[in-house]
């Protein structure tokens, strides 16, 4: 299946671009929006499509917006990009992720949009990641004019299915993303938008109001009201408008699509492709799909009352991936689409394989203390895991899981017999373990692998569990040494075929670095095979499945830019024999480019360094530096940030520094230091 060239549409003659529209808030703040709408909207009002995020509509997401906003406007909609308060050119401060005020502002903005003379009164929301989150959160608030939502790469559970924690384990992405958000919160507005007299005062206010956001998150290591806020899983019935949910298998956010389709009473459809953290019309690995046309079908049906048949689409359109040798990057995955009419599907049955000695078997093993097995993994187990979320696919650096043999060497493995016939795993599975620990705090990483006949090992799915969270994320409890517990480890959703002759493998480790922050001391786990098994969703029948066909990829003409310095990205693992530590280093340099239509030159660099001790988890650290630079005429603003986290057995230690420069001279500098007690983590 080869990728076809996208169809690029030029809509510039048929639409109007409103570079800056101020949307007033009831407390006197103004939020900055860009609006692209059909030229005849004043005579023939159209629905509005809102994307509401903090990533700078003027010079941050402009390249993507150009392709999407002009396409929507060219196809009969007003496309609106709104900066969240305190970001881009909007007044106020960024308080944190997904705060109530953010939702309140969205409700006011939606009412304002619906009341405009060019708007029909109907509004939809669309967004990926942050915009996917708040689309659901605002839908739960039920503003009257919001008629439908398209959510991508989002979550319904901010605690357990976001960038911060997974299975109660601390993801290193909490610092990676946290450093980026720390940087975003410190950026200045554009003087051309807010005025030469005002921009420095706004910048100073932002810097003075800045927080070291990862420290705020680390104060909440349990699933408390902090995480419950904005988590749609608390009450799915709050959402009463139709939702189209989409994501990809190598994105960090697959669970939400399953949860939304299974639990919403409002109309809901899901699309799961082979992609990373990308819009599906830019999907990588391919094949990408004509997703903007899917959005148009959705909007036409729910915002214009045109019968486009979306209500008759399959509940799930899922890309079933073929088995392939593990690679750090794929331009495209081979496979086929499944149109599953109803979800959960009667054609998918749960199959259980039991642990027996060192094998996976259809029969449960006899109970015997002599069959117990122990594992204390090297702290570097997990190096082949790839990224928790593949963000930068399509750029230079690979992010996908590698051959798993290295990680398997530091794990306890259970192998099945060679398959007599192909097997298709479709959905979310789980691993049940009967496990004991010699330490009061431990984590377990479980991988479902596909062992190829030549020995190559492909990771199919995985799951994580902080064993202190075995019963509850809200009320964790330390382990009693040597006592056996029955625990359930949820596996990440997937759709993949395993050919005949291949073997299934379950691999269990006590570390998964650099994805996960290690336990405070090395733990040895004892597994009772007789009390352990894996349950997988297996495709048994495709009866009544529907044919899936997507339109070719389309988008509007690309943004014109002029490169002024080349980009570069690298990912390296460095082992220091002298220090007995390993460092995972990611260097990202976007170079610099001028956005031709606004004349702004933008440069961005980021360096990530994750360190772990081979035998000492307390040697672990994360250190990140970011730099953003904006230049246009006399405007020359630069921000540099540094964030770092270390720990001992009792505390996490977080530091952050932000330095702002105006025309090369220091404008403001702030430093943050936090000591946060470890809470069963």
pLDDT at position 506 is: 98
Q: Which of 509, 539, 569 is the last residue of a domain?
A: 539
Please state, in angstroms and as integers, the Cα–Cα distance from residue 662 to each residue in 35, 85, 287, 634, following that order.
30, 22, 44, 10
Structure tokens at 565: 């310095």
pLDDT at position 363 is: 87
Q: What is the pLDDT of residues 130-179, one digit of tens each?
A: 999 999 999 999 999 999 999 999 999 999 999 999 999 999 999 999 99
Contact predicate 116/41, CB 8 Å: no
pLDDT at position 60 is: 97
Instruction: For residue 485, report the phi and psi dihedrals to the nearest 5 degrees.
Output: -130, 145
Please state, in angstroms and as integers, the Cα–Cα distance from residue 237 to each residue in 137, 220, 536, 582, following that order.
12, 26, 29, 47
Contact predicate 487/435, CB 8 Å: yes
| Domain-located, residue 182 | yes
Please state, in angstroms and as integers, the Cα–Cα distance from residue 293 to each residue in 6, 310, 340, 554, following that order.
13, 12, 20, 8
Residues 355 and 426 placed together within one structural domain of the fold: yes
| Domain-located, residue 504 | yes
- Displacement of CA 540 from its chain's centroid (Å): 30
Contact predicate 414/300, CB 8 Å: no
Whole-angstrom distance, CA of residue 355 vs CA of residue 410: 18
**CATH number for the domain including 456?**
2.60.120.260
pLDDT at position 397 is: 67
- In 3D space, the residue among 371, 402, 377 whose CA is nearest the CA of residue 387 turns out to be 402
Contact predicate 524/374, CB 8 Å: yes
Q: What is the pLDDT of residues 651-660, one digit of tens each?
A: 999 999 999 9
pLDDT at position 279 is: 96
Residues 501 and 359 placed together within one structural domain of the fold: yes
Average model confidence (pLDDT) across the chain? 96
pLDDT at position 16 is: 97
- The residue whose two tokens read 């209500």 is 311
- In 3D space, the residue among 312, 522, 545, 330 whose CA is nearest the CA of residue 426 turns out to be 545
- Displacement of CA 406 from its chain's centroid (Å): 26
| Domain-located, residue 421 | yes
| Domain-located, residue 272 | no
Whole-angstrom distance, CA of residue 140 vs CA of residue 283: 28
Whole-angstrom distance, CA of residue 605 vs CA of residue 590: 6
Residues 483 and 609 placed together within one structural domain of the fold: no
Residues 511 and 385 placed together within one structural domain of the fold: yes
200 contacts: CB under 8 Å, gap ≥ 6: 188, 662, 667
pLDDT at position 553 is: 98
Whole-angstrom distance, CA of residue 256 vs CA of residue 152: 9
| Domain-located, residue 123 | no
If residue 258 lies in a helix (H) or strand (E), which one and from where to where?
Answer: helix 255-263
Residues 527 and 570 placed together within one structural domain of the fold: no
| Domain-located, residue 209 | yes
Torsion of CA 85, 87, 89, 92, to 10 degrees: 40
Q: What DSSP state is assigned to residue 281?
A: G
Residues 505 and 373 placed together within one structural domain of the fold: yes
Neighbours of 275 (CB within 10 A): 30
pLDDT at position 391 is: 84
pLDDT at position 369 is: 66
Residues 456 and 585 placed together within one structural domain of the fold: no
| Domain-located, residue 658 | yes
| Domain-located, residue 64 | no
Residues 355 and 464 placed together within one structural domain of the fold: yes
Residues 530 and 606 placed together within one structural domain of the fold: no
- Displacement of CA 207 from its chain's centroid (Å): 27
- In 3D space, the residue among 31, 54, 250 whose CA is nearest the CA of residue 134 turns out to be 54
pTM over 0.85: yes
Residues 439 and 525 placed together within one structural domain of the fold: yes
pLDDT at position 371 is: 87
What's the number of domains the chain is made of?
2
Whole-angstrom distance, CA of residue 411 vs CA of residue 249: 24
Largest Cα–Cα separation, the chain: 81
- In 3D space, the residue among 92, 72, 77 whose CA is nearest the CA of residue 31 turns out to be 92
Contact predicate 650/677, CB 8 Å: yes
Strand bridging mode 423-427 / 494-498: antiparallel
- In 3D space, the residue among 535, 533, 529, 589 whose CA is nearest the CA of residue 564 turns out to be 589
Residues 582 and 491 placed together within one structural domain of the fold: no
Residues 589 and 495 placed together within one structural domain of the fold: no
Residues (pLDDT < 70) of the chain are 1-3, 369, 392-397
pLDDT at position 604 is: 96
Domain that holds residue 654: 174-223+560-596+599-681
pLDDT at position 414 is: 98
Whole-angstrom distance, CA of residue 676 vs CA of residue 98: 22
Structure tokens at 325: 């040798």
- In 3D space, the residue among 256, 574, 249, 515 whose CA is nearest the CA of residue 387 turns out to be 515
Length of the chain: 681
Q: What angle do CA 660, 131, 631 make, to 5 degrees?
A: 30
pLDDT at position 664 is: 97
37 contacts: CB under 8 Å, gap ≥ 6: 15, 16, 18, 46, 73, 77, 78, 79, 118
Q: What is the pLDDT of residues 398-444, one digit of tens each?
A: 899 999 999 999 999 999 999 999 999 999 999 999 999 999 999 99
Q: What sign does the CA torsion over 570, 573, 577, 581 have?
A: positive
pLDDT at position 365 is: 76
- In 3D space, the residue among 659, 587, 584, 615 whose CA is nearest the CA of residue 172 turns out to be 584
Q: What is the pLDDT of residues 233-268, one digit of tens each?
A: 999 999 999 999 999 999 999 999 999 999 999 999
pLDDT at position 2 is: 52
165 contacts: CB under 8 Å, gap ≥ 6: 159, 171, 174
651 contacts: CB under 8 Å, gap ≥ 6: 675, 676, 677, 678
């Amino acid at each position: 299946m080869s990728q076809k060239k996208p169809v690029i549409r030029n809509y510039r003659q048929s639409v109007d671009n409103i570079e800056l529209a101020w949307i007033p808030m009831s407390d006197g703040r103004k939020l900055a929006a860009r609006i692209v709408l059909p030229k005849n909207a004043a005579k023939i009002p159209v629905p509005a499509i809102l994307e509401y995020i903090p990533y700078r509509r003027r010079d941050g997401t402009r390249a993507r917006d150009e392709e999407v906003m002009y396409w929507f406007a060219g196809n009969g909609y007003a496309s609106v990009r709104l900066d969240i308060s305190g970001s881009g050119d909007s007044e106020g401060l960024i308080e944190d992720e997904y705060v109530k005020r953010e939702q309140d502002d969205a409700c006011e903005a939606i009412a304002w949009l619906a009341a405009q003379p060019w708007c029909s009164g109907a509004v939809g929301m669309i967004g990926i990641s942050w915009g996917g989150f708040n689309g659901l959160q605002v839908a739960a608030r039920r503003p009257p004019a919001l008629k439908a939502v398209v959510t991508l790469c989002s979550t319904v559970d901010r605690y357990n299915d976001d960038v911060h924690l997974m299975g109660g384990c601390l993801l290193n992405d909490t610092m990676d993303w946290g450093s980026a958000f720390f940087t975003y919160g410190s950026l200045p507005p554009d003087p051309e938008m807010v005025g030469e007299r005002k921009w420095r005062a706004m910048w100073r206010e932002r810097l003075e109001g800045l927080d070291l956001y990862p420290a705020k998150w680390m104060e909440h290591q349990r699933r408390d009201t902090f995480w419950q806020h904005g988590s749609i899983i608390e009450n799915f019935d709050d959402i009463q408008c139709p939702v189209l949910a989409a994501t990809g298998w190598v994105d960090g956010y697959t669970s939400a699509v399953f949860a939304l389709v299974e639990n919403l009473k409002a109309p809901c459809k899901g699309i799961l492709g082979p992609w990373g953290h990308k819009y599906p019309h830019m999907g990588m690995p391919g094949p990408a799909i004509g997703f903007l046309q899917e959005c148009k079908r959705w909007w036409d049906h729910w915002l214009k009352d045109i019968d486009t048949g979306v209500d008759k689409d399959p509940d799930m359109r899922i890309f079933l991936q073929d088995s392939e040798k593990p690679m750090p990057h794929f331009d495209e995955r081979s496979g086929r689409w499944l149109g599953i009419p109803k979800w959960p599907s009667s054609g998918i049955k749960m199959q259980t394989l039991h642990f027996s000695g060192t094998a996976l078997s259809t029969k449960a093993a006899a109970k015997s203390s002599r069959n117990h097995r122990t594992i204390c993994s090297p702290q570097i187990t997990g190096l082949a895991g790839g990224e928790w979320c593949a963000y930068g696919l399509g750029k230079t650096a690979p992010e996908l899981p590698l051959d798993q043999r290295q990680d398997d060497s530091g794990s306890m493995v259970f192998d099945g017999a060679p398959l007599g016939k192909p097997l298709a795993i479709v959905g979310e599975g789980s691993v049940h373990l009967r496990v004991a620990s010699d330490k009061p705090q431990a984590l377990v990483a479980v991988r479902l692998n596909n062992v190829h006949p030549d020995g190559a090992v492909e990771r199919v799915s995985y799951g994580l569990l902080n064993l202190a969270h075995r019963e509850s994320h809200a009320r964790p409890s330390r382990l009693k040494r040597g006592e056996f517990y029955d625990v359930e480890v949820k596996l990440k959703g997937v759709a993949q075929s395993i050919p005949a002759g291949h073997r299934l493998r379950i691999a269990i480790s006590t570390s998964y670095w650099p994805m996960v922050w290690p336990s405070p001391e090395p733990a040895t786990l004892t597994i009772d095979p007789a009390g352990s098994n894996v349950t997988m969703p297996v495709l048994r029948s495709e009866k009544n499945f529907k044919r899936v066909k997507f339109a070719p990829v389309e988008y509007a003409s690309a943004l014109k830019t002029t490169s002024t310095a080349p980009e570069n990205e690298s990912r390296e693992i460095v082992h220091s024999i002298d220090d007995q530590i390993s460092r995972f280093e990611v260097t990202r340099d976007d170079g610099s480019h001028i956005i031709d239509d606004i004349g702004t030159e933008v440069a961005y660099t980021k360096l990530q360094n994750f360190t772990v001790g081979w035998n000492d988890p307390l040697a672990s650290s994360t250190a990140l530096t970011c730099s953003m630079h904006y230049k246009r005429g006399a405007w020359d603003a630069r921000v540099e940030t540094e964030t770092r986290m270390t720990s001992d057995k009792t505390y996490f230690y977080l530091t952050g520094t932000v330095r702002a420069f105006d025309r090369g001279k220091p404008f403001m500098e702030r430093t943050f230091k936090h000591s946060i007690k470890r809470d069963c983590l």
